[in-house]
Amino acid sequence: TRDFLIAPSILSADFARLGEEVDDVLASGADIVHFDVMDNHYVPNLTIGPMVCEALRKHGVTAPIDVHLMVRPVDRLIGDFIDAGASIITFHPEASDHIDRSLQLIRAGGCRAGLVFNPATPLSYLDYVMDKVDMVLLMSVNPGFGGQSFIPGTLDKLREARRRIDASGRDIRLEIDGGVKVENIAEIARAGADTFVAGSAVFKARSDSDPHRYDGVMQAF
Q: Which residues are catalytic?
A: 36, 177
* Of the candidates 132, 119, 135, the residue with the CA atom closest to the CA atom of residue 175: 135
DSSP letters along 47-67, please? ---HHHHHHHHHHT--S-EEE
9 part of the interface to ligand DX5, by CB under 6 A: yes
Return the half-sphere exposure (C-beta side, CA atoms, 13 A cut-off) of residue 204: 10
| Cα(44)–Cα(46) distance, integer angstroms | 7
Residue 24 interacts with Zn ion (CB under 5 A): yes or no:
no
Confirm or deny that 200 is annotated as ligand binding. Answer: yes
User: Of ligand DX5, Zn ion, none, which one sits near residue 87, judging by CB under 5 to 8 A according to partner kind?
Assistant: none
Size of residue set near Zn ion by CB under 5 A: 3
Q: Is 39 in the site for Zn ion (CB under 5 A)?
A: no
Q: Is 200 in the site for ligand DX5 (CB under 6 A)?
A: yes
Distances (CA, A) of 59 to 20, 49, 73: 9, 16, 29
Residue 21 interacts with Zn ion (CB under 5 A): yes or no: no
How many CB atoms are located within 10 Å of the residue 119 CB?
15
- Contact code string over 170-189 relative to ligand DX5, x by CB under 6 A: -------xxxx---------
CB 88 within 8 A of CB 134: yes
Instruction: Decide if residue 134 touches ligand DX5 (CB under 6 A).
Output: no
Residues that bind ligand DX5 (CB under 6 A): 9, 11-12, 34, 36, 68, 141, 143-144, 146-148, 177-180, 197-201
- Residue ranges for the binding site for a divalent metal cation? 34, 36, 68, 177
Annotated binding residues, as ranges?
9, 34, 36, 68, 144-147, 177-179, 199-200
